[in-house]
């Protein structure tokens, strides 16, 4: 791997703007039409934001927050902040007013970018808790209130006034002064295990992680289009889905919404996507539902194609040798089956990156088999985020790959994964005690449990999520939950059993399948709360859980379960923005149901 050529994120963008001037950098929907910004235009817009912030007395090191859903304005604002030497503090748009106030107060943000009136009203609710807040800048136009005046993004940028040579020179001097050790962002952890902490990532952390990830994965360049839909507030999308493509001349297109990803894939024909496991779980389930509707002959053909595809993938990417006969069989399977499945992704998808939570091994294999490679990786907010990744040249299903260059992974005596490398954070903002607890002798304590085999890292669970039963068994809940979610009747699952004699589960039915079952059995019901307690439905799920139990050791099996009438959601606070389960929230919210599973009659 060559030496990282950039000192900071703005330095990287400045190089890209000069090298890829006329190439598309950003694509987004505006007034029903797709609009593009070239690299030169994008950089110029960032400079305009930086100029506007300087007029608001932003100084290098000032913390500037962005409270917005994904949009082009988000990344223009971010680059404008960084070009002026500021520190970007992303805040999840799904956050409650109190959560937002905590982050803004902690970092003492003077200036906040908001997407529009919805986020602005959250600030109004907690105005008294934000004594440092001086300016609100909105991407959308609306009238603010006297207690909290609003400036529009357009007004701040003064888009109609070209950047003067003197202004460009002033900003260039700031960019030149940025060093790898300087903070670029403070990202507050999602708080799945406690109070959020602000991870301070430096320019050097982020630039290295982008450069090393690009070197690891390979094959990304000017012809590529990234479809962006994960929250930019999360470091995974920010680093791999935003900074990385802008480092190598690729383009970023912002999806209209999570609900329209399938439609956007067909419109835009992306080549690369950054995803979380839930995305693949849903597509996998839909494909198998469609297969279930096929004739017996076509179902047999599908299963045969999968068997050939699995052999081909292992031969090509793991054994590194494909016999001619297997290559021939695969070509037929690809033409008859796999190519039709790939067309759902827009025909050009080269690969996806998966992170944020464990991806079920069988689902991962399936996507490789149909010709949509999924590079499962591993990292945390505190590590910018990528520590390890699978790739074409190094692939082991079930693992999260091998470490990036100059990155060390070790396993502590209790099984905890330790990491050391240039991407590890400087520390937690204004929290020396938490920093000392996380960073010990140069090693970052990840809080995850794992093992190393032939250089590949396998994550088994979160250290704090391990269930210790009354019988003393240590059980990782996530693999069991993944098995349950693979069932077509189960959308989401939560396994419980800490200090209890056996495991129980809360199951969220797949609504379409459950309603279909109710119609077939002619079950009369008033609403979903009524439907999930009907005896035929309970018996159905008993059989589905029993099928999963047959794949588990006796001490891992689910003895009792409860069906919930609604999904876990971000809005309800039960999921993080990357769709990971907040175990503490769910265990508290459904305490009565869980207690009943241990005190009441068996399901």
φ, ψ dihedrals at 476, nearest 5°: -85, 120
Both structure tokens of 311: 């052999």
pLDDT of residue 571: 81
Whole-model pTM: value is: 0.86
CB 459 within 8 A of CB 450: yes
For 475, the domain range is 466-599
pLDDT, one tens digit per residue, over 317-336 is 999 999 999 999 999 999 99
Is residue 192 predicted with pLDDT exceeding 80? no
Same domain flag for 256 and 340: no
Residue 246 covered by a domain = yes
Same domain flag for 448 and 542: no
pLDDT, one tens digit per residue, over 161-186 is 999 999 999 999 999 999 999 999 99
Q: What is the mean pLDDT of residues 274-299?
A: 90
Residue 579 covered by a domain = yes
Same domain flag for 407 and 519: no
Rounded-to-10 torsion of CA 60, 65, 71, 73: -40
pLDDT of residue 131: 94
Same domain flag for 447 and 568: no
Same domain flag for 227 and 356: no
Q: What is the mean pLDDT of residues 489-498?
A: 93
Same domain flag for 251 and 287: no
Report the distance separating Cα 526 and Cα 98, nearest Å.
Answer: 37
Q: What residues are paired with 251 via a beta bridge?
A: 225
Report the distance separating Cα 421 and Cα 439, nearest Å.
Answer: 12
Same domain flag for 507 and 364: no
Is residue 73 predicted with pLDDT exceeding 70? yes
Total structural domains in the chain? Answer: 3
Report the distance separating Cα 224 and Cα 251, nearest Å.
Answer: 6
- Chain centroid, CA 311 distance in Å: 30
Q: What is the mean pLDDT of residues 493-504?
A: 92
Task: Provide the b/e sequence for 69-90 (b: ≥16 CB within 10 Å).
Answer: bbbbbbbbbbbbbbbbbbbbbb
pLDDT, one tens digit per residue, over 448-487 is 999 999 999 999 887 778 787 877 777 889 889 999 999 9
Residue 2 covered by a domain = no
Identify which of 248, 246, 186 has the alpha carbon closest to the alpha carbon of residue 43: 246
Residue 500 covered by a domain = yes
Report the distance separating Cα 543 and Cα 522, nearest Å.
Answer: 19
Residue 411 covered by a domain = yes
Residues in the chain: 603
Same domain flag for 433 and 554: no
pLDDT of residue 560: 95
pLDDT band at 362 (very low <50, low <70, confident <90, very high): very high
Kind plus residue range of the DSSP H or E element containing 102: helix 97-107
Same domain flag for 266 and 414: no
Report the distance separating Cα 225 and Cα 273, nearest Å.
Answer: 9
pLDDT of residue 307: 98
* Domain end residue (candidates: 254, 271, 288): 271
Measured at the alpha carbon of residue 302, what is the angle toward residues 296 and 303, in degrees to the nearest 5? 90
pLDDT of residue 256: 95
Same domain flag for 459 and 470: no
Q: What is the DSSP letter of 163?
A: P
Is residue 39 predicted with pLDDT exceeding 60? yes
Same domain flag for 414 and 484: no
The percentage of residues in the chain with a pLDDT greater than 70, rounded to a whole number, is: 98
pLDDT of residue 258: 85
Residue 61 covered by a domain = yes
pLDDT of residue 314: 98
Q: For the domain that residue 381 is a member of, what is the CATH number?
A: 3.40.50.12780
pLDDT band at 191 (very low <50, low <70, confident <90, very high): low
Report the distance separating Cα 140 and Cα 365, nearest Å.
Answer: 43
Residue 525 covered by a domain = yes
Identify which of 441, 450, 387, 466 has the alpha carbon closest to the alpha carbon of residue 416: 450
pLDDT band at 403 (very low <50, low <70, confident <90, very high): very high
pLDDT, one tens digit per residue, over 248-282 is 999 999 999 988 999 999 999 999 999 988 899 88
- Cα separations in angstroms, 399 against 377, 423, 446: 8, 21, 16
pLDDT band at 601 (very low <50, low <70, confident <90, very high): very low
pLDDT of residue 600: 56
Report the distance separating Cα 327 and Cα 123, nearest Å.
Answer: 59
* Domain end residue (candidates: 416, 435, 463): 463
Q: What residues are paired with 493 via a beta bridge?
A: 507
Same domain flag for 569 and 509: yes
Name the average pLDDT for the chain. Answer: 93
Q: What is the mean pLDDT of residues 415-436?
A: 96
pLDDT of residue 603: 41
Residue 185 covered by a domain = no
């Amino acid at each position: 791997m060559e030496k990282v050529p950039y000192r900071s994120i703005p330095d990287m963008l400045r190089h890209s703007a000069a090298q890829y001037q006329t190439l598309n950098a950003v694509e987004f929907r505006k007034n029903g039409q797709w609009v593009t910004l070239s690299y030169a235009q994008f950089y110029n817009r960032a400079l305009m934001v930086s100029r506007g912030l300087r007029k608001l007395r932003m100084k290098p090191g000032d913390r500037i927050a962005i409270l917005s859903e994904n949009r082009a304005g988000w990344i223009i604002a971010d680059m404008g902040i960084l070009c002026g030497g500021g520190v970007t503090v992303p805040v999840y748009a799904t956050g409650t007013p109190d959560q937002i106030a905590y982050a803004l107060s902690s970092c003492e943000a003077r200036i906040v970018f908001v997407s529009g009136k919805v986020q602005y009203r959250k600030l109004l609710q907690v105005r008294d808790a934000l004594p440092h807040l001086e300016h609100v800048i909105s991407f959308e136009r609306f009238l603010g209130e006297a207690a909290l005046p609003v400036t529009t993004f357009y007004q701040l940028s003064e888009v109609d006034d070209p950047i003067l040579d003197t202004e460009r020179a002033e900003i260039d001097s700031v960019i030149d002064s940025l060093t790898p050790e300087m903070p670029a962002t403070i990202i507050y952890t999602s708080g799945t295990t406690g109070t959020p902490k602000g991870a301070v990532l430096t320019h050097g952390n982020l630039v290295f992680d982008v450069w090393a990830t690009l070197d690891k994965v390979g094959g990304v360049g000017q012809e590529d289009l990234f479809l962006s839909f994960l929250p930019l507030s999360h470091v995974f999308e920010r680093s791999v889905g935003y900074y990385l493509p802008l480092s190598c001349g690729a383009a970023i297109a912002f999806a209209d919404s999570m609900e329209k990803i399938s439609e956007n894939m067909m419109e835009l024909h992306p080549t690369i996507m950054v995803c979380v496991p839930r995305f693949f779980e849903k597509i996998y389930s839909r494909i198998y539902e469609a297969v279930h509707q096929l004739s017996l002959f076509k179902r047999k053909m599908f299963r045969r194609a999968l068997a050939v595809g699995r052999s081909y993938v292992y031969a090509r990417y793991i054994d590194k040798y494909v016999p001619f006969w297997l290559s021939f069989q695969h070509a037929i399977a690809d033409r008859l089956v796999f190519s039709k499945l790939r067309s759902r992704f827009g025909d050009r998808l080269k690969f996806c990156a998966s992170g944020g939570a464990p991806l079920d091994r069988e689902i991962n294999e399936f996507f490789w088999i149909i010709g949509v490679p999924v590079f499962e990786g591993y990292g945390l907010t505190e590590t910018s985020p990528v520590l390890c990744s699978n790739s074409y040249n190094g692939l082991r299903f079930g693992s999260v790959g091998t470490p990036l260059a100059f990155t060390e992974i070790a396993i502590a005596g209790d099984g905890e994964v330790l990491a050391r490398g240039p991407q590890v954070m400087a520390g937690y903002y204004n929290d020396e005690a938490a920093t000392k607890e996380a960073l010990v002798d140069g090693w970052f304590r990840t809080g995850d449990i794992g093992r190393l085999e032939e250089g590949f890292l396998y994550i088994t669970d979160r250290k704090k999520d391990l269930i210790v039963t009354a019988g003393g068994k240590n059980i990782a809940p996530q693999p069991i939950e993944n098995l349950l979610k693979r069932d077509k009747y189960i959308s989401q699952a939560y396994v419980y059993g800490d200090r209890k004699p056996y495991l129980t589960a809360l199951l969220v039915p797949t609504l379409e399948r459950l309603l279909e079952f109710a119609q077939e059995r002619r079950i009369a019901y008033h609403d979903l709360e009524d439907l999930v307690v009907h005896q035929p439905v309970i018996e159905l799920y008993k059989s589905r859980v029993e099928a999963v139990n047959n794949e588990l050791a006796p001490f891992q099996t689910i003895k009792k379960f409860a069906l919930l009438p609604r999904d876990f959601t971000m809005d309800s606070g039960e999921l993080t923005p990357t769709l990971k389960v907040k175990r503490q929230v769910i265990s508290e919210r459904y305490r009565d149901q869980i207690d009943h599973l241990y005190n009441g009659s068996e399901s």
